[in-house]
Structure 1
């Protein structure tokens, strides 16, 4: 068994099912919040082999793209999708080797349904399951089963679905739907309808599929055919990721250059061109961008900078605080990057520049926060969140 095979599966899960459902089948799984763009890349870089995508974020963040899913599969990982965003991405990417599971996947794959609104719900990030609203696809399937059992007439079912479709997904509930349709249903029928949760059932089936695939050692362990990581710079139906994350150079340049300097990267990568005999920064700050661009390192450093900022933002949102060990590791990293023997030696070397010393101290705390995020989210079985109600489209 290879080291890759021993890595736990990564499951992106939100309101489609409780984490306990998944952990009862995949006890070593790393449960992560709904997938965002870059999440698959990040965990594949860490050598994870199995990915189960159930839920995904959309709205104020970039959603996971089909290109990212295909890249990770081509790199040799196994990606299984079901229930919500996972079902949609599996339907998009099954020709590339993505495994789709469940009723909702088949409906998307066969184009019986196509709107993302079918699986969108409102939920609380701290208590994602059960969701606060009902997904339209659950309502369709529940009413179909009810009509087959003779509990609801076909005309009533059509009116209820029509009323549900007219509601925004943040308002879509059974009571609003049947009231909007002018229907009066018995408590027995309402109980029957509310108990049918196809998204949850599909999530459980998908977790079982991942478990069986791991047991059977069916992972297609192969090297990527591209010399570039995940083929990000190769031909494809999407453009490569924007390293500026939509920002212009003028917006991002000052903070980016300060990050380069405080992290020690400016001195390590560009020492011969931007520093003088005593190590002071002598080249104009604006020229650092051009020097990096000319060296071919600009895009990579911009993406690392973006990951750094996102990690800090996530740590603050979750109320994380760095431990003494996190701070120690941050100091050790900065000491090595600046080419000195100790943290005190580094502080002494910049004592004549109080402003830089202050910025470096802030950077040390930020760097420690990123290590806290890594320790909390990447290596802990659970997930840290703070109470916050959010509106997220799931399937994109």
Structure 2
């Protein structure tokens, strides 16, 4: 149906919970070609990017977001891949929301790994299978402020979490590894942390996603504001990307190119 609001969502927030907040077409995490395919299928009035794939498939391209913006479609981002792309494309019209977006916007050299998590296949709901580093770091800082761990203990645990591969990150694994490597001798801090985590752990990604969906639900006029973007230029590299995503045919070439010159 034309004029839908399209949301790319995966491990950050359960689709059922999101749908209770915002009426939209919910699609699996975006990958290369997903934005073009969504525009072609739904003619959306706006696109919301929360989650994206990056390990099992090429990540959603900046160029396709630029193309959607140039067509007058507002694109919003938050929480995960959406926060990354919004921070990278804020200067050309993509709209970011939330703590993680602001942190990326203010931290140019920040690692994409901060928001990466392993997830189930989209066919199984794309549920998270690991914990995001940014959530772990914010949780450890909260634990330090509440006296659960000391500053040196927090730094040691944070370093250990950072050195883990993103698919292995979890609080259970972090605590087990910390005990096995004797990250602190008494074990008292790890015991306190283990007891505190079920009620004290933060999920900033989820909070940012909820915040953006709630904002759009409460202020529907936001999706009617046309983005101010520079003219779109179709590049040969992006044509190859579209072909790799199975999107390049005579019809899409006409839609994409319009009167623009390929460079």
Q: TM-score, normalised by structure 1?
A: 0.55
Q: Does 1:26 align with 2:22?
A: yes
Q: State how far apart, in whole Å, the 2-side matches of 1:9 and 1:302 are.
A: 24
Which has the larger Rg? 1
- In the alignment, what sits opposite 1:120? 116
Q: Flag the 1:48–1:144 CA change in 2: closer, same or farther, 3 A.
A: same
Residue 50 of structure 1 contacts residue 210 of structure 1 at CA under 8 Å; is this kept in 2?
no
Unaligned 5+ runs, structure 2: 185-189, 254-263
| 1:209 CA displacement | 2.4
- In the alignment, what sits opposite 2:187? none
Residue 90 of structure 1 contacts residue 105 of structure 1 at CA under 8 Å; is this kept in 2?
yes
Q: Does 1:103 align with 2:93?
A: no
1:144-178 Cα offsets, whole Å, 9 max, x none, are 12212222211111111111111111111112213
Return structure 1 stretches of 4+ with deviation > 6 angstroms. Answer: none
Q: Flag the 1:302–1:97 CA change in 2: closer, same or farther, 3 A.
A: closer
Q: Flag the 1:213–1:221 CA change in 2: closer, same or farther, 3 A.
A: farther
Q: State how far apart, in whole Å, the 1-side matches of 2:131 and 2:211 are.
A: 20
Q: Flag the 1:111–1:44 CA change in 2: closer, same or farther, 3 A.
A: same
Residue 74 of structure 2 contacts residue 223 of structure 2 at CA under 8 Å; is this kept in 1?
no
Q: State how far apart, in whole Å, the 2-side matches of 1:221 and 1:199 are.
A: 25
Q: Does 1:93 align with 2:61?
A: no
1:256-275 alignment runs, 5 A limit? none
* Alignment partner of 1:53 out of 49, 52, 77: 49
Q: TM-score, normalised by structure 2?
A: 0.80
Is the partner of 2:164 in helix, strand or coil? coil
User: What is the aligned length?
Assistant: 238
Q: Does 1:205 align with 2:211?
A: yes
Q: Flag the 1:221–1:175 CA change in 2: closer, same or farther, 3 A.
A: closer
Q: Flag the 1:150–1:217 CA change in 2: closer, same or farther, 3 A.
A: same
1:175-224 Cα offsets, whole Å, 9 max, x none, are 22133333523243222443x111110110111222244245642189x9
Q: Does 1:189 align with 2:196?
A: yes
- In the alignment, what sits opposite 1:239? 237
Q: Flag the 1:244–1:188 CA change in 2: closer, same or farther, 3 A.
A: closer
Residue 161 of structure 2 contacts residue 169 of structure 2 at CA under 8 Å; is this kept in 1?
yes
